[in-house]
Amino acid sequence: MNFFERQDQARRQSKRLILLFVLAVVAIVIAVDFVALLAFGLLSEDASPAKLTAGVIASTLVTLGIIGVASVYRTSSLRAGGAAVALQMGGTPVPEDTHDFHYRRLRNVVEEIAIASGVPVPQIFVMEEETAINAFAAGYAPADAAVAVTRGALDKLNRDELQGVIAHEFSHVLNGDMRLNIRLMGVLFGILVLGIIGRQVLVHGRGGRSSKGEAPVLLVALGLLVVGYVGLFFGRLIKAGVSRQREFLADSSAVQFTRQTKGLAGALKKIGGLQEGSKLASGKTEEVAHMLFGDGVGYSRLFATHPPLLERIQALEPAFKPQAMVDLTARWQMKPPSGLDEDAALGLDSRQPPPLPGDRAELSVTPPSVVAQVGAPQADDYARAGALVSAIPETLQRSARERDEAVPLLYGLLLAPPGKVRDRQQHDLAARQDERQFRQALDYADRIADLPRILCLPLAAMAMPALRKRPRAELEKFMDGCYALTHADGKVSLFEYCLGRLLRVQVHDALDPAGNWVAGNKRLADCAPQAISLMAILAQAGHDDGAGAMRAYLAGMNLLFPRADAPYQPPKDALKTLDELWPVLDRVEPRGKELLVEGLVAAVSHDGRICVAEAELLRVVCASLHCPLPPMLERAA
């Protein structure tokens, strides 16, 4: 199952969630109607049909209103994205410039996996009060994602095991599970709120003067409390139905990330063998249970949001026996594991990253091989991500992680080499930024001038957490500045234009994560003019001669729209055309995007090979369409 199939499955799961929610609401409404009619004596033989009908209508409308308002309220409270969920769970943000060794190791692992995935580095949190081993990812889109781990995970897991857990959580980011999980939090709160209301009425209604008029109200409150347990029952069933299979998929995706089962299986073994396990102490665990790496509540098998622990381990290591877990438990009772000590013993911090290809290197790719890589990094991608981070000068890494340096650094990535375009860019930037940021951007542009292109996207990804900390007004000004730099007299390179647009999209998504990115539902055939224009622009950008560009265009069209009568006609104003086509193509449904990416790869690689510059351009284009590609498009042998 590839990225596009997983995205499509997530869309179907969303529809299933809506159906289950509707069925749960219907059951709850019927139960509340019965309780209300019984409490107010409308089920007696003396009650007229008109009163009975009016009672049912009133009770139904009030119940639906409460459920609807509660669901909307809870969903709205989560509009800030993943960070809001992490903070509500008691998460402590991990500073970008941290010197704490545990935090630094966690940040390194998260940054490397983010770069390997082709997505912005998420916000990172640690639940300091939780000694169990657990983690979760939350957010509406990769641009606003947050990853949180417990203190127990930091202390007890070695680097490979921590990598396996984070890879599992990143698979939720890439598979489209995060948006589904946050929606689940919102709708389930709606069907649980009636029980909360009933409990509060009973608590505050005690001790008051008894009267005949209070009895029905207290009876209704008691009924609502019972109905609340019905809602809890349905809520747990919905969470189990939606979450359990996604967890198996996340485990398999995490193994694909790392191409080794030892790390992930080791983390699961420690959950099973240590007394703390994965159960969290927070009273808010019930609400996020379906998002966690391990069972944080202790559900029975009927309501389990995760497959049984032994089944998860045996799916990774078929030879693992139950007795082995007993032996591990006995060993760890004598000497609890320490992740840092295991790192030192295994030499996990001394591994050398592989060399990176030069700017003139050529890569051998095919459309199916690239499509298989979308949203699916593997072990060689992870290792190359570590090499990419190591290749970025330390001064630039520090700047990317600093709140006040991220904006001028990113502007520096978008500034053209000295010349007429740079002069125009400087004029536009000076009109939008203060003198200090303007001078910093020019300084960074000169320092980045010799930076290999393959390092530009990783550097931009590393700057996203610091960039998100800027005030909204400054972020909006930043997006305006990116637009100005990438449209300076229309002669900016296509890579620089696409990089600027990608930065704007990611910031835009982060400002309003709940509303700015939605899963696509348009057919590719309905967006054919935009897809054909993008194909022509990409073919033209990769060739200096018209004949070569035409051959590349025809190669892509033969795969994308083989029967279309669409001659090669690149638009005169490519940048304006791109501005118009992005929003349309980003709304294409997953299977249509899969075909579009295949066609674009066929155009770029019509001779079977592409250079690093073309590969990076393709990565930026795909990322703009929310189809992230790993750092290298050629798998290691």
Burial state string for 520-542 with b = 16 or more CB within 10 A and e = fewer than 16: beeebeebeebbbbbbbbbbbbb
Q: Which residues contact 576 (CB under 8 A, 6 or more apart)?
A: none
* Residue 627: other Cβ atoms inside 10 A: 23
Residue 636, burial from CB neighbour count under 10 angstroms (0-12, 13-18, 19+): exposed
User: How far apart (Å, rounded) are the C-alpha atoms in residues 497 and 63?
Assistant: 52
Terminal Cα distance for the chain, rounded: 22
Strand ranges for 56-187 from DSSP E: 92-93, 123-127, 135-138, 146-150
The tokens of 321 are what?
A: 């026996």
Amino acid of residue 381? D
User: How far apart (Å, rounded) are the C-alpha atoms in residues 574 and 386?
Assistant: 35
Distance of CA 344 to the CA centre of its chain: 32
The tokens of 29 are what?
A: 């409404």
- Torsion-angle region of residue 489: left (phi > 0), alpha (psi -120 to 50) or beta? left
> What does the pLDDT read at residue 68?
85
> What does the pLDDT read at residue 370?
84
Look-up of token digits 């029905």: 216
> What does the pLDDT read at residue 378?
74
Look-up of token digits 């930076």: 451
Look-up of token digits 């009619």: 37
C-alpha count within 13 angstroms, C-beta hemisphere, residue 637: 2
92-93/146-150 β-pairing:
unpaired
Q: Based on the residue annotation, tell me whether 276 is a catalytic residue of this protein.
A: no
Amino acid of residue 18? I
For the chain (length 637 residues), average pLDDT per consecutive 10? 69 70 81 78 72 85 86 78 86 87 92 88 93 90 88 93 87 73 75 73 59 64 73 73 67 60 88 91 81 82 78 86 92 89 73 64 79 78 83 92 92 90 89 86 91 88 88 90 86 83 84 68 91 91 84 91 90 89 90 91 82 81 85 61
Task: Order across the sheet with 123-127: list the strands.
Answer: 92-93, 123-127, 146-150, 135-138
User: How far apart (Å, rounded) are the C-alpha atoms in residues 612 and 598?
Assistant: 18
Look-up of token digits 């990783």: 458
Q: Are 387 and 356 in contact (CB under 8 A)?
A: yes
User: How far apart (Å, rounded) are the C-alpha atoms in residues 132 and 147?
Assistant: 16
> What does the pLDDT read at residue 25?
81
Q: Which residues contact 279 (CB under 8 A, 6 or more apart)?
A: 132, 295, 296, 297, 298
Q: How far is CA 399 from CA 242, 468, 486, 622, in A?
A: 41, 14, 22, 27
Q: Which residues pair with 609 in a beta bridge?
A: 364
Residue ranges of the domains in the chain? 1-351, 364-376+518-624, 379-516
Name the residue among 312, 306, 146, 311 with its Cα closest to residue 239: 306
**DSSP per-residue codes, 280-343:** ---TTHHHHGGGBSS-SS---GGG-SS--HHHHHHHH-TT--HHHHHHHHHHHHHS---HHHHH
Look-up of token digits 């939606």: 242
- Compute φ and ψ for 320, nearest 5 degrees: -70, 130
Full-model pTM: 0.81
Burial state string for 228-250 with b = 16 or more CB within 10 A and e = fewer than 16: bebbbebbbebbbbbbeebbebb
> What does the pLDDT read at residue 620?
85
- Which entry of 96, 161, 169, 614 is annotated as an active-site residue? 169
**DSSP per-residue codes, 212-241:** TTHHHHHHHHHHHHHHHHHHHHHHHHHHHH
**DSSP per-residue codes, 588-633:** B-HHHHHHHHHHHHHHHTTTSEEEHHHHHHHHHHHHHTT----S-S
